[in-house]
Amino acid sequence: MSSPIIYWFRQDLRTSDLPGLLAAAATGRPVIACYILDEHSAGEHAPGGASRWWLHHSLEALAAELAQLGGALVLRRGAAPLELDRLIAETGADAVYCSRLYEPWANTLEEKLHAALDARGLSFRRYPGSLLFEPGTVMNQSGGPFKVFTPFWRHCRAGSPPATPRPRPADCVWFDGTLDGDSLASWGLLPTQPDWAQGWSSQWRPGSAGAYDRLQLFLAGPVEDYSEGRNHPARAATSRLSAHLHFGEISPRAVWHAAVGLAAREARSEQQVDKFLSEMGWREFSHHLLYHFPHIETQPFKPQFREFPWLGNEAALRAWQQGQTGYPIVDAGMRELWHTGYMHNRIRMVVASFLTKHLLVHWRAGAQWFWDTLVDADLANNSCGWQWVAGSGADASPYFRIFNPVTQGEKFDAQGSYVREWVPELALLPDRYLNRPWEAPPAVLEKAGVRLGENYPSPLVDHKAARESALAAYAAIRDADQRGNAPA
């Protein structure tokens, strides 16, 4: 009997359009499907609380999907090299196939595994599947990586489109031996005391079936309002596919071709689809940046920001985390995040700007909070997004762009639906004062049941004063950088 192949599932928790699994099946050899919870190699990048909730349900869905195909998912917990060695010893497997990851720690792990297995005459093969375009294939005219989004995406769109997605392997030969494995419940991925994710199952459906249903729902209606509606948190105009893409429950090229197919059938959808694809392009751009500039997860992309005078105010950070800043649109976003594991993209920018530019708290503190509380927490998107808002990233929002949380709320939540949902203590305030309750006359506050400083906080900072402080801090590092680069 031929030696089996281990297919090592990672952030590719699906069976459709999975190049590595298709390659393993095409050999005709028995395939062992395994998932290893490797918190050792990931270190501080091990899944946060919200991601662990999603991972539990995604693995449940993957196991059921494999069972339908006649396979079984072996679960192991520990350092991946050790657990793969155990499986090799138990089964006589002589090859490990997997999908590539692009985080710095994952690249290091893959290189070590490749060297170790190769030295023993064993095969280690990595396949694409997480991105539309592989890092290293999208380069500028000088042969270097792009640092600005627009030319990056223009280059991507000018080349060959992503390949057509392929179906799941229909004739895979699965390993039929008996293997020990952990029970999913024994990993304790779900919160219990307290169960802060209670109710999430009514909002989210992790797994491939949920991902495809979410995509079809989006393309059946909300995409028609995407360009404008995506900026309004109370509108159902976004795809909400981010967690499905992060865990690899659906391939990006499956999303791409479904969207392009809609535009081909419905000419009126072309502009909306093009905007949606450009947002997928930002996901690509972030992963390419992290691959080429791995320091951006902890260090500013623009070196002069190493000298930025962050305040490190722990009390202000806690108030922001708890949705108690006194600015309703900010507090609504932070509460949506805590209660759902998700935050609307426009509001992510608003709350990130508030933390870094109003409170002068380091962007890494915000990124760490998002890592623990977002179901779609992704190292590339998280790091690049926070640096973009803070002004220190590639193609970043300029340092002088400081979101006004009052005008952002009034412009993008004009009817107050979003704020009233997540900050119910302000629900009875008239629209005129909803985003600036401190300006409401005492009689209006009393009628609405709002007691500032008691059942809703007064603003942590004054917007105008905070803006001036932020501009002064940014000007100081700009001037210092100019002096440092001045000719002698």
Out of 39, 224, 279, 425, which one is annotated catalytic?
279
pLDDT at 413 over 60: yes
Task: Give me 193's structure tokens.
Answer: 């005391």
Residue 260 has pLDDT above 90, yes or no: yes
Same domain, 361 and 458: yes
Q: Which domain holds residue 153?
A: 131-166+208-292
The enclosing domain of 276 has a CATH number of 1.25.40.80
What pLDDT score does 213 carry?
98
467 and 321 in one domain? Answer: yes
Of 485 and 69, more confident: 69
pLDDT computed for residue 1 by the predictor: 62
Which of 113, 129, 145 corresponds to the end of one domain?
A: 129
**In this structure, is residue 171 part of a structural domain?**
no
Six token digits for residue 251: 């391939």
CA distances from 306 to 204, 273, 309, 310, 314 (A): 39, 39, 9, 10, 20
Instruction: Establish whether 279 is a catalytic residue.
Output: yes
Amino acid in position 456: Y
Tens of pLDDT, residue by residue over 166-215, are: 999 989 999 999 999 999 999 999 999 899 999 999 999 999 999 999 99
Give the per-residue pLDDT at 478: 80
Per-residue model confidence as pLDDT tens digits over 415-455: 999 999 999 999 999 999 999 999 999 999 999 999 999 99
- Domain count across the chain: 3
Asked if the model's pLDDT at residue 479 lies above 80, the reply is: no
Q: What is the pLDDT of residue 191?
A: 96
| Mean pLDDT (the chain, rounded) | 95
* Predicted pLDDT at 39: 93
pLDDT tens track for 152-163: 999 999 999 999
Above 90 in pLDDT, residue 235? yes
Q: Give the residues across from 99 on adjacent strands.
A: 127
Catalytic option among 53, 256, 386, 422: 386
Select from 387, 423, 393 the least CA-distant residue to 405. 423
* 186 burial type by CB count under 10 A (0-12 exposed, 13-18 middle, 19+ buried): exposed
Q: Which of 310, 313, 410, 425 is catalytic?
A: 310
pLDDT over 90, % of the chain: 92
Same domain, 263 and 336: no
End-to-end CA distance of the chain: 74
- Render pLDDT for 285-298 as a digit per residue (tens, 0 to 9): 999 999 999 999 99
Residues whose CB falls within 8 Å of the CB of residue 467, separated by 6 or more in sequence, listed in order: 357, 358, 402, 404
Residue 173 lies in a domain: no
Q: Are residues 53 and 153 in the same domain?
A: no
CA dist 243 and 210 (Å) reads 11
pLDDT digits (tens, 9 = 90+) for 452-465: 999 999 999 999 99
pLDDT tens per residue across span 274-325:
999 999 999 999 999 999 999 999 999 999 899 899 998 999 999 999 999 9
Same domain, 248 and 321: no
Q: Do 346 and 378 belong to one domain?
A: yes
Cβ partners under 8 Å of residue 318, min gap 6: none
Mean pLDDT for 62-84 is: 97
Cβ-in-10-Å burial (0-12, 13-18, 19+) of 287 comes to buried
- The reply to whether 114 and 235 lie within a common domain is no
| Tokens found for residue 108 | 């290091």
Return d(Cα 482, Cα 390) in angstroms, integer.
Answer: 19
The secondary element (H helix, E strand) that includes residue 210 is helix 208-219
Question: Is 53 designated active site?
Answer: no
* Domain of residue 15, CATH code: 3.40.50.620
| Bridge partners of residue 97, in order along the sequence | 7, 125
Beta carbons within 8 Å of 133's beta carbon, 6+ residues apart: 156, 159, 162, 284, 288
Co-location of 255 and 366 in the same domain = no
Which of 111, 129, 147 is the last residue in one of the domains?
A: 129
Q: Is the pLDDT of residue 481 over 70?
A: no
Give the tens place of pLDDT for each residue, 124-144.
999 999 999 999 999 999 999
- Packing angle, helices 328-340 and 314-321, rounded to 10: 70
If asked whether residues 346 and 459 sit together in one domain, one would say yes
Q: Which of 83, 103, 89 is nearest to 34 (CA)?
A: 83
Q: Is residue 179 part of a domain?
A: no
The residues facing 127 across adjacent strands are 99
In a domain, 181, yes or no: no
Q: Tokens 């708890």: give the residue.
A: 322
The confidence score (pLDDT) of residue 421 equals: 98
Whether 297 maps to a domain, the answer reads: no
Question: Can 363 be counted among the known catalytic residues?
Answer: yes
Average pLDDT over residues 6-34: 98
Q: Percent of the chain scored above 70 by pLDDT?
A: 98
Confidence of residue 487 (pLDDT cuts 50, 70, 90): very low
Shared domain for 310 and 456, answered yes or no, is: yes
Concerning whether 282 is annotated as a catalytic residue, the answer is: yes
Q: Which of 35, 346, 347 is nearest to 335 (CA)?
A: 347
Question: Do 328 and 391 fall into the same domain?
Answer: yes
The pLDDT score that the predictor gives to residue 483 is 62
Is residue 188, in this structure, part of any structural domain at all? no
Catalytic site residue from 363, 369, 371, 388: 363
pLDDT at 488: 36
Catalytic residue among 345, 410, 421, 425: 345
Question: Is 174 a domain residue?
Answer: no
Q: Is the pLDDT of residue 486 over 80?
A: no
Q: Rounded to whole angstroms, how far apart are CA atoms 458 and 411?
A: 22
The answer as to whether 98 is a domain residue is yes
440, 433 in Cβ contact below 8 A?
A: yes
Which of 129, 156, 185 is the last residue in one of the domains?
Answer: 129
Whether 105 and 16 map to the same domain: the answer is yes
